[in-house]
Amino acid sequence: MDCSSKYNINQSKISLKLNPVPILFNKNGPSPKKIKLSDNFHRNANFFANGNSLPKISIQDQRRNLPIFEKRNKLLEIIKRHKTLIIIGETGSGKTTQIPQYIYSARLQENGKIAVTQPRRVAAISIAMRVALEHGNGMSVGDVVGYSVRFEDVTSKKTKIKYLTDGMLLREAMLDRLLLDYNVVILDEAHERTIHTDILFGVVKSAQKIRAERNHPPLKIIIMSATMDVDHFSRYFNNCQAAYLEGRTYPVNIFYTVKPHDDYQTSCVATFFKIHQEAPANHDVLIFLTGQEEIEACAHQIRLLAKDPDVEGPPVRVCTLYAAQPNSQQMAVFQPTPSGTRKVVISTNIAETSVTISGIKYVIDGGMVKSRSFHPSTGLELLKIQRISQEQAWQRSGRAGRQSEGFCYRIYTRSQFELMKPTSIPEIQRANLNSVALQLLALDIHMLHFDFLDKPPKDSIQAAFEQLKLLGAIEDIDSIALTSLGKKMARFPLDPKFSKILLSAEQYGCLQEALTVIALLSSESILTTPRSKRDQAESVRQKFRSGYGDHITLLNIYREFDTIGQKKKRNWCHEHFINFRNILYVQDVRSQLEEICKNFDLHISSCGSQIDQLRKCLLTGLFMNVAELQRDRQYVTLDRRQVTLIHPSSVLHGQQPAYVVFTEVVQSTKCYLRGIISIEGEWLREIAPDYLRNHNFRYSKDC
């Protein structure tokens, strides 16, 4: 297609259903930031030209073609010389897949292992698979190259290169602060500044120092990224050196809309169909949206429209990618598409960094992201859709240039882009810190005394310690020691509120049920409700509905699923509009949590039909998430008197229980509570009397 001119969405074919206003794009690039031809581009530029598929070159040749390959020896020399090193290299240069293999071949890890952290599960898994394949000799993932993510460990005694999420390495640090299993730790995608990576900076820095003092084998630390503030990181790591790698950046042609488009979802679909009608079938498309609901709606729309006889273009395979999907579903985006079929991946910011989805030639960037932010002043953690940062916009467009020249359509104007924040705020400065505060205490570190790269706000730290005290994990907010309950809570890979629930469940005789509910809360929704079959789905699931709320409804579903014979489970799920994979994931998570409970010798009993026991038990962890009905049918949170409503997706929507417990707050035009259970007011007095005394009387204000 002619990418240098403005284009109109073909109104006659699709715009009637999509967008009354044609979307005009301006080619407003190449940007000031390095979007340029590099040497290798000339060599490989024709990969996708004229609709031909990728030439079949061996995987070892692919490795040799990477820009990093020529620098291999020099790089190894630098790595050998420095105990801490920052490596900056453009996306696609081969940092994540190659550097660990080079280190391994040079045996720099000696008798230890190499850890490579990733902020996201899907990156850790897909990269480990790719590297296992590259490493070759018929070895599969789990041999020399393995991965470990929450609830899934694919490593063995032979594993030397271990890709793992930053959260998992932090868990390992809880068992061994010095990380003696590893002689090399690579913290990848450092610019993403996830809360876990931020904590790991301090953990590895201290492990390196203590290991040197105690004559343990030295720990080599490598910080990697495509873009970051090198000086800031270098200062933090005792003025360590930084190495710059030249990248293989294929040019990405950037387009901006001529005018703002508020309905970015529809605009993404319209833009997709414009590309779809013109581009060769093997040019795949990656669309960035914000979350499951948006992504599924967009996927549905594309699937429908692609079948419309009026819409030209090859067959389409639509894949979706968001954090809460089970691993198996996430991995589907990496499967090759039959020739003559176009793949479109609709993803959250998961696909923004690290992962390579082969074949992507076009990126459509909706420009928005759903991010979690914690407000110490309101005590609420909100999921909010907001504009991305410029750094994220560049990362997103970079996904189009991984294997050949690409195109990025930004559903925002050039001036909207210029108004975006240059970089994202580190998660540690906007998140609820109670989980990490607990994990650090398990490492005998008090957050106030932790060596942070950037300190989180004091009031967030204060709020985290107050919560941990209320949950009984610490005696008082200055404690540096966990109570015995706190120590147990830290062993679960869960939010402390949820681990508290599991640890209280024995007392209420409902650990069976609590395990199920917490596993359900740790997984993606098990309900699938296609728009066209909403009534049918609701009627067949009617029998599970509980007047006590969403979690009990889900529990009822799981209980019945559990009684169905192994061979019939899939069918049963299909009939009841239950996502089979998601419920299997719940089953798996549940059994892993049960294992931890068994290690504590907890008695796994069932409360049967005495659901009050379970409701009370849930309150032991969630008493800070209680809202009270007001005369105007709105709910006010007890904690900070926030005015909220019950989300329309809740089974309790339209009913008005006097008190509810919620598990999530979402903000759109109003503040909504999601995941609701009704409770009796007097239980609060029984279960959390201290909390109630302190929080009952505050004045009301809107969110």
CB of 182 to ligand ADP, least distance (A): 20
Closer residue to ligand ADP, CB minimum distance, 92 or 456: 92
User: Which pair of tokens denotes residue 35?
Assistant: 């979007």
Closer residue to Mg ion, CB minimum distance, 131 or 597: 131
- By DSSP bridging, strand 659-667 and strand 626-629 are antiparallel
Select from Mg ion, ligand ADP, none the partner in contact with residue 579, using the beta carbon and a kind-dependent cut-off of 5 to 8 Å: none
Closer residue to ligand ADP, CB minimum distance, 342 or 402: 402
Kindly tell me the burial class for residue 560, based on how many C-beta atoms sit within 10 Å of its own C-beta (0-12, 13-18, 19 or more). middle
Select from ligand ADP, Mg ion, none the partner in contact with residue 301, using the beta carbon and a kind-dependent cut-off of 5 to 8 Å: none
In the complex, the residues that contact ligand ADP under the rule CB under 6 A are: 66, 89, 91-98, 126, 130, 356, 358, 402-403
CA 26 to chain centre: 32
Is the Cβ–Cβ distance between 639 and 695 less than 8 Å?
Answer: yes
Closer residue to ligand ADP, CB minimum distance, 329 or 644: 329
Closer residue to ligand ADP, CB minimum distance, 358 or 592: 358
CB of 549 to Mg ion, least distance (A): 42
CA distance 242 to 85: 6
15, 38, 93, 96: residue in contact with Mg ion (rule CB under 5 A):
96
Select from Mg ion, ligand ADP, none the partner in contact with residue 130, using the beta carbon and a kind-dependent cut-off of 5 to 8 Å: ligand ADP
CA distance 34 to 36: 6
Select from ligand ADP, Mg ion, none the partner in contact with residue 193, using the beta carbon and a kind-dependent cut-off of 5 to 8 Å: none
SS3 of residue 394 by DSSP: helix
The dihedrals phi and psi of 694, each to the nearest 5 degrees, come to -80, -20
Closer residue to ligand ADP, CB minimum distance, 129 or 673: 129
Instruction: Please give the C-alpha separations between residue 577 and each of 362, 515, 569, in angstroms, as whole numbers.
Output: 33, 23, 12
Sole window of 12-20, 88-96, 205-213, 530-538 interacting with Mg ion (rule: CB under 5 A): 88-96
Closer residue to ligand ADP, CB minimum distance, 265 or 347: 347
Handedness of CA 206, 208, 211, 213 (dihedral sign): negative
- By DSSP bridging, strand 368-375 and strand 626-629 are unpaired
Select from Mg ion, ligand ADP, none the partner in contact with residue 356, using the beta carbon and a kind-dependent cut-off of 5 to 8 Å: ligand ADP
Select from ligand ADP, Mg ion, none the partner in contact with residue 647, using the beta carbon and a kind-dependent cut-off of 5 to 8 Å: none
CA 327 to chain centre: 12
Select from Mg ion, ligand ADP, none the partner in contact with residue 695, using the beta carbon and a kind-dependent cut-off of 5 to 8 Å: none
Cβ-Cβ contacts under 8 Å for 310 (sequence gap 6 or more): 13, 14
Closer residue to Mg ion, CB minimum distance, 223 or 554: 223
The vertex-433 CA angle with 678 and 390, nearest 5°, equals: 110
Is the Cβ–Cβ distance between 577 and 519 less than 8 Å?
Answer: no
Select from Mg ion, ligand ADP, none the partner in contact with residue 100, using the beta carbon and a kind-dependent cut-off of 5 to 8 Å: none
Strand ranges for 34-112 from DSSP E: 84-89
User: Bridge partners of 301?
Assistant: none
CB of 218 to ligand ADP, least distance (A): 25
CA distance 652 to 635: 13
CB of 488 to ligand ADP, least distance (A): 38
Cβ-Cβ contacts under 8 Å for 134 (sequence gap 6 or more): 59, 60, 63, 97, 101
Closer residue to ligand ADP, CB minimum distance, 249 or 642: 249
* DSSP letter for each residue of 319-378: EEE-TTS-HHHHHGGGSPPPTT-EEEEEE-GGGGSS---TTEEEEEE--EEEEEEEETTT
CB of 625 to ligand ADP, least distance (A): 39
CA distance 630 to 658: 8
Q: Of all helices (H) and strands (E), which one includes residue 60?
A: helix 59-65
Q: What string marks each residue from 352 to 381 as x (binds Mg ion by CB under 5 A) or -?
A: --x---------------------------
DSSP label of 30 = S
Closer residue to Mg ion, CB minimum distance, 95 or 274: 95
Select from Mg ion, ligand ADP, none the partner in contact with residue 93, using the beta carbon and a kind-dependent cut-off of 5 to 8 Å: ligand ADP
CB of 57 to ligand ADP, least distance (A): 11
Closer residue to Mg ion, CB minimum distance, 155 or 354: 354
Q: What string marks each residue from 267 to 296 as x (binds Mg ion by CB under 5 A) or -?
A: ------------------------------
Closer residue to ligand ADP, CB minimum distance, 352 or 639: 352
The dihedrals phi and psi of 631, each to the nearest 5 degrees, come to -60, -35
End-to-end CA gap in the chain: 47
Closer residue to Mg ion, CB minimum distance, 391 or 513: 391
CB of 422 to ligand ADP, least distance (A): 21
Select from Mg ion, ligand ADP, none the partner in contact with residue 92, using the beta carbon and a kind-dependent cut-off of 5 to 8 Å: ligand ADP
Query: Helices in 472-528 by DSSP H: which ranges?
Result: 484-491, 496-508, 511-521
Sole window of 94-102, 259-267, 391-399, 404-412 interacting with Mg ion (rule: CB under 5 A): 94-102
CB of 438 to ligand ADP, least distance (A): 32
Select from Mg ion, ligand ADP, none the partner in contact with residue 445, using the beta carbon and a kind-dependent cut-off of 5 to 8 Å: none
CB of 248 to Mg ion, least distance (A): 13
Select from ligand ADP, Mg ion, none the partner in contact with residue 403, using the beta carbon and a kind-dependent cut-off of 5 to 8 Å: ligand ADP
Sole window of 35-43, 154-162, 347-355, 482-490 interacting with Mg ion (rule: CB under 5 A): 347-355
CB of 119 to ligand ADP, least distance (A): 13
CB of 357 to ligand ADP, least distance (A): 8
Cβ-Cβ contacts under 8 Å for 477 (sequence gap 6 or more): 462, 465, 466, 468, 469
CB of 46 to ligand ADP, least distance (A): 15
User: Bridge partners of 383?
Assistant: 372, 666
User: What does the binding site for Mg ion look like in residue numbers (CB under 5 A)?
Assistant: 95-96, 354
